[in-house]
Structure 1
Amino acid sequence: MGVIVFVVFAFAVIGLIHFYLWKRLIRDTTRPGRWRRAGGVAALVLGVLVPATLVGTRMGQWWLAWPGYLWLAVMFYLIVVLVVLEIPMLVAKLWLRRGRASAPVPALVGAGGPAAEPPAPDHQPDRRLLLARGAAIFAGLTAAGVSGYGIRSALGPPQLDRVSIPLAKLPRTMDGMRIALVSDIHLGPLRGRGHTERIVNMINEMDADLVTVVGDLVDGSVEELGAAAAPLERLRSRRGTYFVTGNHEYFSGHQEWVDEVARLGLRPLRNERLEIEGLDLAGVNDIAGEEYEDGPDFPKTFDGRDPSRPVVLLAHQPVQAENAAKYGVDLQLSGHTHGGQMVPWHLLVRLEQPIVSGLGTVDGTKVYVTNGAGFWGPPVRVGAPPQVTLVELHSQ
């Protein structure tokens, strides 16, 4: 029942969004006739395209991905720009209405009086139409331009972010330990083997002590994406390569992927902890695993831990730090947020996650959140470029 309610709600929202776009971009900018009818048909088709893409790509219809997700990005920025324009548009309409109300009214002339001049034509409808068209053109050009910039950013190489993090308990012998961190690679309909190879080459150039992949590696099954993930077997590090599940693994057959990454040489950390010289490295499953009886288990992960040793936790979602802090975790490495992916979406992400991007603190535990190397949905990144991070640990 909950799924049905969510689907009905989602379809209602999509329908309302496209009705709003039709009103502002079609009805307000055209007179009755064939152009308005054609615009209505286009709005209807695009409205159906969104849910068809979201459902179809999950069912293997990947040909829907490019048109559907590109429209989703343009639609998002059309909504943002048009909503921002609502207030100035309202002011302009009130000004036009006020100008019409204050215009002089021609005097009535009796039958025996001089002939009256014909009243001036009312140009207000034309001005309102011109105003609506100007707003629509501005919104369309802005949405297309921002989306185009975002496509270039999303499909380009990830940027390298270097962050130095001091840990009070870190032994002097481990000062300068280097951890390569990558998350949210999102192999799927729009990113394949070439994407993986570029990330692997980038990480190998870091010459890191540890390599960590913190979830959302894939959006599809091993059968569909096994070849795309294969270059991961070339990852190099001095002290191992480690993996924890993200929420999208649970949408893609998580146990098969856990087995597959292990076959490729990555060590899955499934609610477990390892001792690496003077450091504890731990990993917990993602929150989404709770629906599959495979959720995070913090008591199991930290049972018997020596509190004098520093612990670095791999956890896909930053919000998991609220539990990690209760076990004295010194540093949590996370992804999931994509840095917001498309400004101003980061404002909504902030309502769910304590940290959207970069280094912060949650209840005394340091948390670093990477933007991720891929994208989900629209192949667009605005204000949050794709990222691979080199974390350097230092003793205090």
Structure 2
Amino acid sequence: MKPTKLEIKNLKVKAKNLQGLQILHLSDLHINKKTKIEDIKKLVSFCNDIEYDFLALTGDIIDCKADKIIPQLEALNLLKKVFYISGNHDIFYGLKRLKTLLTNFTFLDNKTIFIKYQNKEIALAGISDRFSKFFKIQREEKKVFEFLKNNEDSILLAHQPKDYSLAVNSNTKLFLCGHTHGGQIFPFHYFVKLFQPFLAGIFYKKNTCIYVNKGLGTWGIDFRYKADSEITLLKLC
């Protein structure tokens, strides 16, 4: 992750019964040993100055073992009101250790909670990444589905766009994800589209608004082309 230029992307999205809610959405930070602590501190300061109801962090926080980047993660831990789920890189490099360092964040893999907003209770759930099965981590899809289906005002966090059907079929109002990096380097956009139903941006299916965040960091090559990084403030209307 190298956030040399931090900008907020303001977007209005339609989500019935959730009007007025403001969600700051980050994804795919890919923090590694080359990530400067100063860059993390700048990111945290930038985000904490934004008015939002909660921050959704949809996976791939790390790109190396967490013990190699403890100062960076301690700095990241100062972000406010964060709910996060795992990405494939987090699981590969050690999700258990990552969770012990991000003590200020609420971990949502296979979890269901309620958050209060304007005298409403909004159902918020997260699902473990599809990569989990390779590490014998159970994805509790049935539990998450039933929770979302039984609560009218609901939001689902997942890492990959592929999990959109879980949101759509349960009548979830908002589905947030990342993973694709928006293709990161054109023309790899076309390659990503072979494996994911959505590349980046806003999509609507039935009663569900889907948002795919292009992420803040990079993977493999520290370079982006026609797929700018993003920090997104979603204003629900």
- Residue 169 of structure 2 aligns to a residue whose secondary structure is helix
Q: Could you tell me the percent identity over the aligned residues?
A: 27
Aligned pairs for 1:269-284 (under 5 A) are 269-277=108-116, 278=120, 279-284=122-127
1:379 equivalent in alignment to 2:207: no
Q: Per-residue CA shift, 1:344-371, capped at 9, x if unaligned?
A: 1111111111111110134653210111
Pair 355,336 (structure 1): closer, same or farther in 2 beyond 3 Å: same
2:4 aligned with 1:160, yes or no? no
Give 1:216's match in structure 2, choosing from 55, 60, 66.
60
Between structures 1 and 2, the one with greater helix share: 1
The aligned residue for residue 258 of structure 1 is 99
Q: Which residue of 2 aligns with 1:105?
A: none
Q: Match of 2:76?
A: 232
Aligned-pair CA distance for 1:375: 0.5
Contact 2:182/2:213 (<8 A) preserved: yes
Rounded to whole Å, the distance in 2 between the matches of 1:202 and 1:216 is 20
Residue 136 of structure 2 is aligned to residue 297 of structure 1: no
Displacement of 1:384 in angstroms is: 0.9
What does 1:11-22 align with in structure 2 at a 5 Å threshold?
none
List runs of 5+ in structure 2 lacking aligned partners: none
Distance 2:168 2:196 in 1: 15
Please name the residue that 1:313 is paired with.
156
Larger radius of gyration: 1
Matched, 1:205 2:44: no
CA distance in structure 2 between the aligned counterparts of 1:361 and 1:242, rounded to whole angstroms: 23
Structure in which a larger fraction of residues adopt strand: 2
- The answer to whether the 8 Å contact 2:148/2:172 transfers is no
Contact persistence 1:288–1:295 (CA under 8 A): no
**2:71 is paired with a residue of what secondary structure?**
helix
Pick aligned residue for 2:22 from 156, 159, 178: 178
2: CA distance, partners of 1:299 / 1:369: 23
Q: Give SS of 1:234's match.
A: coil
* RMSD, aligned α-carbons: 1.8
Task: Return the letter of the residue paired with 1:272.
Answer: K
Give the aligned partner of residue 198 of structure 2.
355
**Paired amino acid for 1:291:** F
Contact 1:184 1:372 in 2 (8 A): yes
Deviations 1:228-253 (A, max 9, x none): 111123212xxx31110000011101
SS of residue in 1 equivalent to 2:10: strand
Q: Which residue of 2 aligns with 1:341?
A: 184
Distance change in 2, residues 1:198/1:289 (3 Å): same
- In 2, are the aligned partners of 1:322 and 1:363 still within 8 Å (CA)? no
User: C-alpha offsets along residues 33-60 of structure 1, whole Å, 9 cap, x if unaligned?
Assistant: xxxxxxxxxxxxxxxxxxxxxxxxxxxx
Mark the CA change 1:305 to 1:287 in structure 2 (over 3 Å): closer, same or farther.
closer
CA–CA separation in structure 1 for the residues paired with 2:137 and 2:100: 15
Q: Deviations over 1:308-365 (max 9, x none)?
A: 5211111011111123222222111111111110011111111111111110134653
Work out the CA distance in 1 between the residues paired with 2:173 and 2:35. Answer: 34
Contact 2:174-2:210 within 8 A present in 1 as well: yes
Distance across 2 between alignment mates of 1:367 and 1:250? 24
Higher mean C-alpha displacement, 265-274 vs 325-334:
325-334
Task: Map 1:24-63 to 2 at 5 A.
Answer: none
* Alignment match, 2:87: 246
Quote the Cα distance in structure 2 between the aligned partners of 1:215 and 1:317: 9
In 2, Cα distance between equivalents of 1:247 and 1:219: 10
Distance 2:194 2:6 in 1: 26
8 A Cα contact 1:216 1:245, kept in partner: yes
* Letter in structure 2 aligned against 1:195: D
What SS does the corresponding residue of 1:352 show, helix, strand or coil?
coil
Q: Does the 8 Å CA contact 2:214/2:230 hold for their aligned counterparts? A: yes
Following TM superposition, by how much is the alpha carbon of 1:305 offset from its aligned partner in structure 2, in angstroms? 4.8
1:253 counterpart letter in structure 2: G
Q: Give distance in 1, aligned partners of 2:130 and 2:15.
A: 26
* Distance (Å, rounded) in 1 between the aligned partners of 2:5 and 2:94: 28
Task: Tell me how many residue pairs correspond in the alignment.
Answer: 232
> Is 1:268 aligned with 2:107?
yes
1:376, distance to aligned residue in structure 2 (A): 0.7
Residues 189 and 233 (structure 1), Cα distance of their counterparts in 2 relative to 1, 3 Å cut: closer
Q: Is the 8 A contact 1:185 1:373 kept in 2?
A: yes
Conserved? CA contact 1:354–1:362, under 8 Å: no
Unpaired segments ≥5 residues, structure 1? 1-153
